């Protein structure tokens, strides 16, 4: 089983990292949502592959959850939100794409540097998967830090969660209940954030976080 199954698992995880970089690069909202959907789709594939090579049928359920919720429902809902708010043509001013990409590379290097020695005793499949999953998490966090638009922060959060899921499924023996509860918490977080987005826009006519901070200015 070591040969090809191994490589496919790594290829899928690496693809996930690549899509994370694509998210960092993408400054327009709608294409960003497309990348998010692709990200979740690759995650679902990766989880399904893990289910196959670990002979763990419950992981197929996780894969299905990822596919239905993360790859379809959440991006579609976000897309509708973006249209209803009329911000589908907006282009975000990010810190600087080049700089962000460099930082993302540094993060991938860091997570490899941290994880590979730490997991020296673990199985090779798990080792690299976890290292790549950590880089996905870190890039998601980086995206949340560098973006100003609340929608793209939600996207960053979703990709971060995908990284956690990747790590969780890579480790053998993770009970299904953990994954289901993670999926549900993310769903609830998504609903809450969505409601807040609308409430914020009603009040302030924008979902730009920088503008929100100005409203709070008096207390600084």
24/42 with CB nearer another protein: 24
Question: Does 121 engage in binding with another protein (CB under 8 A)?
Answer: no
Q: Kindly report the length of the chain.
A: 220
Query: Could you tell me the smallest distance in angstroms from the CB atom of residue 6 to another protein?
Result: 25
Using the rule CB under 8 A, give the single segment among 54-62, 111-119, 174-182, 196-204 that binds another protein.
111-119
Question: Does 142 engage in binding with another protein (CB under 8 A)?
Answer: yes
Using the rule CB under 8 A, give the single segment among 47-55, 78-86, 136-144, 165-173 that binds another protein.
136-144
Question: Does 164 engage in binding with another protein (CB under 8 A)?
Answer: no
Question: Does 210 engage in binding with another protein (CB under 8 A)?
Answer: yes
Question: Does 200 engage in binding with another protein (CB under 8 A)?
Answer: no
Looking at 20, 46, 100, 111, which residue binds another protein (CB under 8 A)? 111
Query: SS in 3 state form for the chain?
Result: CHHHHHHHHHHHHHHHHHHHHHHHHCCEHHHHHHHHHHHHHHHHHHHHHHHHHHCCCHHHHHHHHHHHHHHHHHHHHHHHHHHHHCCCCCECCCCCHHHHHHHHHHHHHHHHHHHHHHCCCCCHHHHHHHHHHHHHHHHHHHHHHHCCEHHHHHHHHHHHHHHHHHHHHHCCCCCHHHHHHHHHHHHHHHHHHHHHHHHHHHHHCCCEHHHHHHHCHHHC
Question: Does 193 engage in binding with another protein (CB under 8 A)?
Answer: no
Question: Does 114 engage in binding with another protein (CB under 8 A)?
Answer: yes
Dihedrals phi, psi of 91, to nearest 5 degrees = -115, 130
Looking at 99, 102, 176, 209, which residue binds another protein (CB under 8 A)? 209
Question: Does 141 engage in binding with another protein (CB under 8 A)?
Answer: yes
33/134 with CB nearer another protein: 134
Q: State how far the Cα of 29 lies from the Cα of 27, in Å rounded to an integer.
A: 6
Residues that bind another protein (CB under 8 A): 107, 110-111, 113-114, 117-118, 138, 141-142, 144-146, 148, 209-210, 212-213, 216, 219-220
């Amino acid at each position: 089983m070591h040969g090809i199954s191994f490589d496919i698992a790594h290829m899928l995880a690496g693809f996930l990292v690549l899509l994370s970089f694509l998210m960092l690069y993408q400054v327009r909202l709608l294409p960003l949502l497309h990348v998010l959907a692709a990200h979740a789709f690759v995650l679902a594939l990766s989880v399904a592959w893990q289910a196959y090579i670990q002979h763990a049928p419950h992981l197929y359920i996780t894969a299905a959850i990822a596919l239905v919720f993360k790859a379809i429902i959440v991006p579609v809902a976000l897309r509708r939100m973006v249209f209803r708010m009329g911000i589908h043509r907006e282009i975000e001013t990010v810190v600087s794409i080049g700089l962000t990409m460099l930082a993302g590379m540094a993060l991938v290097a860091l997570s490899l540097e941290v994880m590979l020695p730490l997991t020296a005793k673990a199985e090779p499949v798990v080792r690299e998967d976890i290292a790549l999953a950590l880089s996905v998490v870190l890039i998601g966090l980086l995206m949340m830090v560098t973006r100003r638009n609340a929608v793209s922060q939600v996207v960053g959060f979703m990709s971060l969660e995908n990284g956690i899921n990747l790590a969780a499924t890579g480790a053998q023996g993770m009970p299904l209940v953990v994954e289901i509860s993670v999926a549900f918490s993310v769903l609830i977080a998504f609903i809450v954030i969505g409601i807040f987005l609308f409430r914020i826009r009603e009040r302030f006519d924008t979902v730009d976080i920088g503008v929100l901070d100005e409203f709070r200015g008096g207390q600084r």
